[in-house]
Amino acid sequence: MLSFFRWTLFFVTLFVAVIGGALFVGHGMLVSDGPLSVSKRVVIPRGAGPATMAKVLKDEGVLDHAILFRVALMVDPSPKPIKAGEYEIPAHASMQSLVELLQSGKVVQRRLTVPEGTTTAEIVELVRKTDTLTGEITLDVKEGDLLPETYFYSRNDTRDGLLLRMKEAMEKTVDEAWRKRAAGLPIANRREVVILASMIEKETALPAERQKVAAVFVNRLRIKMKLESDPTTIYGITGGKGTLGRDLTRADLQSPSGYNTYVVPGLPSGPICNPGRASILAATSPAPRDRSLYFVADGQGGHAFAVNIYEHNRNVARWKEAQKQRQEQGLPASPSPAAAKP
């Protein structure tokens, strides 16, 4: 009887020692540095089970022991589901830190920057060509519907979903600007805010000029003076698809397009691009007490503003002289007067 007890105690002790040693070795392998020499992005596919995940991670060189990774998932005292997506795996990530990262769902955040003044056709094409997005574009978006900004997204987000976020951002921005608009603006609704803002966006790239350009257009609207904007006329020709590639002709300026503000009174038929926040705010808050009715390129990247035709003609003459000097120096011509010509 004593002999049986001793043998039983021996085997129990041996079993505990083996299990303890295995746990000790296993824990050491869990917390030790992994084989990855430099950080790497790895995609965990949707619907992947432990076996598939372990294979992906081993094939990517993130871990050495696929079976141990699966065991670690099974014995986790507080198990959490691993979320599919693209992860940035740090160099030498241990198996334990790897499990924690995949359970956290902190996937890689990618970014897509949409420049101010981009047309809807251009934005749709940009989103379509972004290969880390998924799905066809079925959302109906029109000119002026999308807010140019930097948008963060994850791999396999949908194209429609990203465009919808741009659309909602534009609606929110315009709503806020409309609520805080200056009193007495000759603008009837939010859509007209976007139309005017799109003109401002195309007329100047200088932040300091946006409110002044807005004031010129608002002043003209108040006295029912044609807006005479080249960018609107160009949009009527191109439809927002590509550039004109030439100067406007006399026939262009006499065309009956609803975007030809040399012919049609008031605002054009619709927006000519997707304006940014700054231009939207300028459209609803033009420069106060600014009586300017004209502006012309100054040859230095900005514009010269005038309250009457006499001042404006002097500014045009200065621009022509600046162009002449550039030609004499062998420099390329600066952009021609962009808008609000007599």
* pLDDT score of 339: 45
Domain limits, CATH 3.30.1490.480, in the chain:
24-104
Rounded CA separation 316/140 (Å):
42
* pLDDT score of 195: 98
Tell me what the mean pLDDT of segment 228-251 comes to.
90
Host H or E run for residue 31:
helix 2-31
Mean pLDDT of the chain, nearest integer? 85
Q: What is the pLDDT of residues 193-205, one digit of tens each?
A: 999 999 999 999 9
Coil, strand or helix: which one is 235?
A: helix
Residue in the block written with tokens 């191109």: 238
* pLDDT score of 36: 80
Give the closest residue to 117 by CA, choosing from 226, 231, 230: 231
Q: What is the pLDDT of residues 282-339, one digit of tens each?
A: 999 999 999 999 999 887 889 999 999 999 999 999 888 877 877 777 765 555 554 4
24-104: CATH number: 3.30.1490.480
What is the full DSSP assignment across 147-175? --SEEEE-TT-BHHHHHHHHHHHHHHHHH
pTM reported for the whole predicted model: 0.81
Better pLDDT: 30 or 264: 264
* Tokens standing for residue 114: 């949409």
* pLDDT score of 76: 62
